[in-house]
Chain A
Amino acid sequence: MHLATAVQFQSNWVEILASPFMRTAFIAGVLVAVASGLIGYFVIVRGSMFASHALAHIGFPGATGAALVGTSVFAGLVAFTVVGAVAIGLLGKRANDREVATGTVLAFATALGVLFASLASTNTSTVTNILFGNLLAIPPAQLVVFAAFLAILAAVLLAIFRPLLFASIDPAVAEAKGVRVKGLGITFMILLALVVSMAVTVVGVLLIFALLVTPAAAALRFTARPGWVIFWSATIGVASVAVGLVIAAMFNLPPSFFIVSVVFVLWLGAAGMRRERAAAKPAGGHG
């Protein structure tokens, strides 16, 4: 197939956008982007970027295994990431020192995922959707689960916000001040597992970084105030999903590429903004 026939402008893209499956995709994308934005700052502050990447890979055999035994792919994804999260959380700080072990487990998990996928004789699009995400493949019933996950995430994060921030930034002092650093770490990892599972449905196992880490990293380029970083990460995530979906509708192509591209462009833009600000004003603002 030639490029010209593969990429074709859809003149009826406004109608496509108005269709029910697009509305489902849009709502799902917004829920996932907000959830990613809420947790992204903590992922960076805790240095859990590798852990979030790892969780997505650990979820891969869960998803394809679920397809193999004929249950919900999303349920398999959640089960595997949550178990993986508790394991990483129990290792605590030592997990960071065990990159070789984690990497080896990752490779094994991914291989297992491939095995399950071929045994399940599912069509390749199922596997592609798990690896690269596909907002358009999310069934409407899934929205309730996403909304519930987001509600749990928001409620727990609000309740533990300060101790979690303290424990993430300054674990030694937080521990001395009576904060349960390890318990918070495991709680955080379980929340992360829920968000990773949601994000995999949008951008897939392989592009998880773009939704979970990059928006917060972009926000951190222009502010370091925790509340604002979270607000801007969620905003960048939502904008990327929305714009990505519109472009996907215009050209009738899977949205993952466009979502990740918008995130990438915003991240580059934020980098430029910070450099300009740094040149204009050497010291940060007060208050």
Chain B
Amino acid sequence: MLDFDNVSAVRGTTTIWSDGTFTVPTGAVAGVIGPNGSGKTTLLMMILGLLRPGSGTIKVLGQVPQRGDSRIGYVPQNYASIAGDSIRARDMVLLGLTGATYGMRRTSREQHARVDQILGEVGAADFAGRRMSQLSGGQQQRVAIAQALVSNPQMLLLDEPLANLDVRNQQEIVALLARINTERGIGILLVVHDLNPLLSVLDGAIYLLDGHAHYDSVDEVVSEELLTHLYGTAIKVVRTAQGDLFTRSA
């Protein structure tokens, strides 16, 4: 899915991280973790083709990142915008299909059907006619995922999809993402602050540590030594008798 070869992330004249050489396997569910300011958003911008790497080469789905790549579905952070009271959920999803089209064209029956199908797939059909501002955080996140999915991407990129959600909604969104991953067979990359809600579905994680970027499988990432170093506070990894894995502050 992602091939990084000696990549450095540069904003202006500041190098945020360097020596990024790793491969994220196709179809993986991968987290992006690192302390605030470590360059997670910069990484996303480079994958989306909005920012060039300072050095090295990036391949996304086998190609150099390009702005407007329809093979990537993107869900940004802070989804609910100021415009939330001025747009319905299904129009929001429709924009994911037709929003980059210039000229006046009627939305076709096929496009409407496609929107309906995706709304059903993410469990948003019941509230599709409501305005975004009338939806809960979890519902808004479903609509955002539907908008990203509606153009049939080969990978999903989500920036903090679990922020501001309660535990139940977090679990539901994680379950939805896991289902999308298996049913559609597409890779998912998500920036997260807390690994715990995702540990059951993650294959691995890109972690940004000490100005460098690495990728490891989840078993290696979830080590007390690494996480403690990463967040600069003592972290304990606990495995329950049922085999569940979680981390907590020691």
Contacts and interface: CB of A to CB of B under 8 A. Distances in A.
A44 B81 CA distance: 12
Given A162-B98, A284-B134, A287-B129, A169 B92 contact: yes
Contact of B83 (A158, A162, A168, A173): A168
B104 interface: yes
Contact of B50 (A158, A175, A220, A226): A175
A179 interface: yes
A284 B87 CA distance: 12
Contacts of B102: 159-160, 162-163
A94 interface: no
A179 B86 contact: no
Interface string A218-237: 00100011100100000000
Contact of B88 (A175, A179, A224): A224
Interface-central residue, B72, B95, B103, by most chain A CB under 10 Å: B95
A273 to B, nearest CB: 16
A108 interface: no
B82 A47 contact: yes
A165 B50 contact: no
Interface residues on A, range: 20 to 34
A162 B129 contact: no
Given A177-B100, A224-B131, A172 B76 contact: yes
Nearest to B133: A224
A286 B100 contact: no
Interface in A214-256: 220, 224-226, 229
A16 B129 CA distance: 48
A162 B141 CA distance: 22
A285 B91 CA distance: 13
B68 A178 contact: yes
Contacts of B100: 162-163, 166, 174, 177-179
A283 B92 contact: no
Interface-central residue, A172, A176, A225, A285, by most chain B CB under 10 Å: A176
Contacts of B131: 224, 284
B101 interface: yes
Contacts of B246: none
Contacts of B92: 169-170
27 contacts: A41-B86, A45-B87, A47-B83, A159-B102, A161-B104, A163-B100, A163-B101, A165-B95, A166-B99, A169-B81, A169-B83, A170-B147, A172-B74, A173-B74, A173-B76, A174-B99, A174-B100, A175-B67, A176-B48, A176-B49, A176-B74, A177-B74, A178-B67, A224-B86, A224-B91, A229-B86, A284-B129
